[in-house]
Amino acid sequence: MSISERPSMSVDEVIRRRRSVRGFLPREVPDPILREVFALAQWAPSNCNVQPWVPHVVSGETLTHVRDALVAAGMRDEPIKPDWPADGKFSGVYRERQVGAAQALYGAMGVARSDSVGRKLAYIRNHAFFDAPHAVFIFMPEPFDTREAVDLGMYAQTLMLLLTARGIASCAQGALGLFPDIVRAELGIPATQKLLFGISFGYEDSDVKANAARVDRAPIDDVVRFHR
């Protein structure tokens, strides 16, 4: 798609169409489209308009280096060292939803629950950006914390919707935030910049089994409380 072709999906359609894609074609997103998407994502809202996000977009040779370093860390079972704790604290309905998402994904991939090697290799695909030609690591400077992390979430969804509207698939990945020292070293980023997560993006490879996975959402009556 050339930059002059305006996306024509409605907001509703873009929201419905965005989903996590975990298998990409090698074809890169043209530079003008990349720049357009990141320019528009700047319009995400933030507390006091501080715009605390610091996205580092990696492609080409740089992506290969970062990917190799992350895959190597995953394969040698290097202990994670995230900038914020990443311990799972899901219980009750949240645990059910987590298990449901895992079942949908591993089921689509044909990886059994008992297949620990298959599960590990499937997980390490996170570190390989699911073969995407681009990834963005989203940092924020010290001493920002929970409040500013909210703004990074707003930014990330804005970015993913802009991509979706242009036929570009993506997957937000907490897994890309578990080895921040490796990412900082590879990209020459100072330790005062803290990493929350990353997003792999590019054009979907619909032949990848993982991309057949679909997850649902809780009905609003289970979630939203209207007060009058």
Measured from the CB atom, the residue of 2 and 146 that comes closer to ligand FMN is: 146
Measured from the CB atom, the residue of 135 and 189 that comes closer to ligand FMN is: 135
Nearest to 126 by CA among 61, 66, 195: 66
Three-state secondary-structure class, residue 200: strand
What secondary structure letter does DSSP report for 198? Answer: E
Distance CA 152, CA 21 (A): 20
- Catalog residues that contact ligand FMN under the rule CB under 6 A: 19-20, 22, 101, 126, 171-175, 197, 215
Measured from the CB atom, the residue of 3 and 104 that comes closer to ligand FMN is: 104
Query: Within a 13 Å sphere around the CA of 216, how many CA atoms are in the beta-carbon half?
Result: 6
| Min separation Cβ 136 and ligand FMN, Å | 13
Distance CA 34, CA 30 (A): 6
| Min separation Cβ 166 and ligand FMN, Å | 17
Token look-up 């799972």 returns 88
| Min separation Cβ 215 and ligand FMN, Å | 4
Measured from the CB atom, the residue of 30 and 99 that comes closer to ligand FMN is: 99
Nearest to 133 by CA among 64, 215, 69: 64
Beta-carbon count within 10 A of 105 CB: 19
Measured from the CB atom, the residue of 34 and 156 that comes closer to ligand FMN is: 156
Q: 27 — phi, psi (to 5°)? A: -60, 130
Measured from the CB atom, the residue of 170 and 193 that comes closer to ligand FMN is: 170
| Min separation Cβ 174 and ligand FMN, Å | 4
Nearest to 201 by CA among 152, 150, 155, 164: 164
| Min separation Cβ 221 and ligand FMN, Å | 20
| Min separation Cβ 53 and ligand FMN, Å | 13
Nearest to 37 by CA among 161, 200, 171, 148: 161
Laid out side by side, the sheet with 169-173 consists of: 54-59, 134-141, 193-202, 169-173
Measured from the CB atom, the residue of 31 and 145 that comes closer to ligand FMN is: 145
| Min separation Cβ 216 and ligand FMN, Å | 9
